[in-house]
Amino acid sequence: MKNDAPTADELKTLVGDMIDRVYEIGLKKHGRHKWFHHETVRHHVDRSIRHAATAMMRRDGNEPCDIDGENEVDHMERSIIRGIFAITKLKFGHE
């Protein structure tokens, strides 16, 4: 087991792969523009908090996996993506 923290490049790869994977799932469900044009910053933050809370409840054993098999890692990734969506909308001046 590696004892060193990941490098910045390793983190960029990890996050880039996560964005590609989770974003692709969202595209199939909702299309390309919904998150940006139809969902508010508040909506993304609320969903991010909900996914993070679900991840922790799953980790603690207080809530079972979803019927589609999503676990705590899946929900934490979705939490991060929703945070990225909120930041992107704020930087582009969209509410």
With a pLDDT cut of 70, the percent of the chain lying above it is 98
Structural domain contains residue 57: yes
pLDDT tens track for 17-55? 999 998 888 888 887 788 888 899 999 999 999 999 999
Determine contact, residues 51/82, Cβ cutoff 8 Å: yes
Positive or negative, the Cα torsion across 36, 24, 58, 3? negative
Across the chain, mean pLDDT equals 89
Q: Is pLDDT at 72 greater than 70 in this prediction? A: yes
Residue 1: pLDDT band by 50, 70, 90 thresholds? low
35 in a structural domain: yes
Q: How many domains does the chain have?
A: 1
87-91, Cβ contacts within 8 angstroms, sequence gap of 24 or more: 88/36, 89/36, 89/40, 89/41, 89/44, 90/41
Mean pLDDT across 3-11: 91
10 within some domain? no
Structural tokens at position 87: 């930041």
- Spatial distance between the Cα atoms of 40 and 88, rounded to a whole number of angstroms: 11
The reported pLDDT for the residue numbered 2 is 67
In a domain? residue 42: yes
Residue 47 lies in a domain: yes
Question: Would 50 be classed as within a structural domain?
Answer: yes
> What residues make up the domain containing 36?
30-91
Where helices occur in 1-95 by DSSP H, the ranges are 8-30, 34-37, 41-60, 72-91
Residue 21 lies in a domain: no
Q: Give percent above pLDDT 90 in the chain.
A: 58
